[in-house]
Amino acid sequence: MRAAWMLAVLAGTAPAQDGALLIRNATIHPVTSPPVENASLLVRDGMIAEIGAKIAAPKGTAVVEGRGLHVYPGMIDSGTTLGMAEIGSVRETSDVRELGEFNPQLRSLIAVNPSSEHIPVARANGITMAVTLPGGGIIAGQAGLVQLDGWTWEEMAVRPAVATRVLFPVLSTVTAGEFFERRRTIPYEEARRKHEADLQKLRLFVEDARRYQREKEAGATRVDLKFEAMLPVLEGKRPLMITAVRERAIREALEFTRREKLRMILAEPREMSQPLLKEVKERSIPVILGPVHSLPLDEDSPYDSQYTFPAELLRAGILFAFASFESDSVRNLPYQAAAAVAYGLPHEEALKAVTINAARIWGVDDQTGSIETGKRADLILTDGDPLETRTQVKLMLLRGRRVSLESKHTRLYEKYMARP
């Protein structure tokens, strides 16, 4: 037995969950339909096999009593550096940024450390998947969707490239520090020239990529990895995930993608006028929201502007999801969604924004994001509403396999609770 286990470890494969598993007498929250009380759920071969009031457990099935407990789909963080950055002040533990302004060929998945201490902490709060984001430059690289369990990044990968991340050029007199450099203030005219130059660089890069595309179609054999990585973007197979915070940057990003006829996901917007909301809705552009627990952008902005923004997007009919955009705060994802509930976002919509809506945006809603037969058994069993801070996750399944909920936090808690 020990030899078989060691062989599995050396082969880089996590031991599979043996047999089927039945959760019975629980309240099941499919998310896409109303909750079902006193129901049972059968998991077989990593998939949700059956949901019903009474399910006979096949021989050899592990049974989990769910009376008084709730079953939810696992939550998805739609933008994070989880596994790519460990300690913010120690540059050696960060593998988020790369040198250069245009790196569409880089895959963030390769930089993910499966042994990061932040991953089990996120799991303990019900997060089962995350979109890993590269940073730095203008085109930072490819964002990937991972499940939060696995010995290697290959095992964690769900979709290696769900979007190409763009940090859209911003007109600012404060320069962003790269690789732990200090920020500095520059004159407005210098900032304006830099902004225009960066926009021109982006346009020329896309123009060069289109020229490369035409050459390939004509039979050219030259290979350029940067432009090869842009082909799915130009063909409309992969969206650009564009980070644009303020009104001007968002407007310029919309103009750029409209002119270039590129698909787009808008990330981290914090102010949008009605005309922008209308265009985003008409073009079916999904939005990834950053932390709701944020201060207003300006001194004269309403104090609750970031708290009410999700409800505003909902009223505009825009598909959106929540993201942490960090590595150490992924565990707070459900609480960010909950904060928006107190400011007008319906509870069921907040829950969708961290489950099925995120899955829809990333193209995996046929696999995960809700509790339906035939989908992956990515589930959490809780003693209450996962958006509530007091709720505890009692069990997590990833593809039907039980995943440990132990973390450095729980180990330290147990250590000091046992102190004489």
Choice between 2 and 374, residue whose per-residue pLDDT is larger: 374
- Please tell me whether residues 37 and 146 are part of one structural domain: no
Question: What is the identity of the amino acid at 363?
Answer: G
pLDDT band at 4; cut points 50, 70, 90: very low
200, burial (CB in 10 Å: exposed 0-12, middle 13-18, buried 19+): exposed
- Please tell me whether residues 176 and 36 are part of one structural domain: no
pLDDT digits (tens, 9 = 90+) for 54-111: 898 888 899 999 999 999 999 999 999 999 988 877 877 888 888 899 999 999 999 9
pLDDT at residue 151, as a whole number: 95
- Please tell me whether residues 43 and 138 are part of one structural domain: no
pLDDT at residue 97, as a whole number: 85
Q: What is the Cα 226 distance to its own chain's centre?
A: 24
Rounded average pLDDT over 149-167: 96
Whether the per-residue pLDDT at 11 is higher than 50: the answer is no
**135 beta partners:** 97
- Please tell me whether residues 19 and 120 are part of one structural domain: no
- Please tell me whether residues 339 and 411 are part of one structural domain: no
pLDDT at residue 183, as a whole number: 72
Q: Which domain holds residue 235?
A: 75-368
- Please tell me whether residues 363 and 374 are part of one structural domain: no
State residue 247 phi and psi, 5-degree precision. -55, -50
- Please tell me whether residues 271 and 327 are part of one structural domain: yes
pLDDT digits (tens, 9 = 90+) for 337-385: 999 999 999 999 999 999 999 999 999 999 999 999 999 999 999 999 9
- Please tell me whether residues 121 and 231 are part of one structural domain: yes
- Please tell me whether residues 49 and 117 are part of one structural domain: no
Whether the per-residue pLDDT at 10 is higher than 50: the answer is no
Write down the mean pLDDT value for the chain.
91
Buried b (16+ CB within 10 A) or exposed e, 21-45: bbbbbbbbbbbeeeebeebbbbbbe
- Please tell me whether residues 329 and 231 are part of one structural domain: yes
Which of 351, 368, 385 is the endpoint of a domain? 368
CA dihedral 30, 35, 36, 38 (to 10 degrees): 110
Rounded average pLDDT over 386-401: 96
Range in 11-20, 110-119, 184-193, 408-417 the model is least confident about: 11-20
Rounded average pLDDT over 197-223: 95
Please tell me the pTM assigned to this model: 0.91
- Please tell me whether residues 17 and 136 are part of one structural domain: no
- Please tell me whether residues 264 and 383 are part of one structural domain: no
As for how many domains the chain has, the answer is 2
Range in 17-26, 139-148, 373-382 the model is least confident about: 17-26
Residues of the chain above pLDDT 70, percent: 94
Q: What CATH number does the domain containing 24 carry?
A: 2.30.40.10
pLDDT digits (tens, 9 = 90+) for 275-322: 999 999 999 999 999 999 998 988 889 999 999 999 999 999 999 999
State residue 129 phi and psi, 5-degree precision. -140, 160
pLDDT band at 2; cut points 50, 70, 90: very low
pLDDT band at 182; cut points 50, 70, 90: low
pLDDT at residue 272, as a whole number: 94
pLDDT at residue 325, as a whole number: 94
Q: What CATH number does the domain containing 149 carry?
A: 3.20.20.140
Rounded average pLDDT over 230-239: 98
| DSSP letter (8 states) at residue 92 | G
Choice between 96 and 236, residue whose per-residue pLDDT is larger: 236
Whether the per-residue pLDDT at 1 is higher than 50: the answer is no
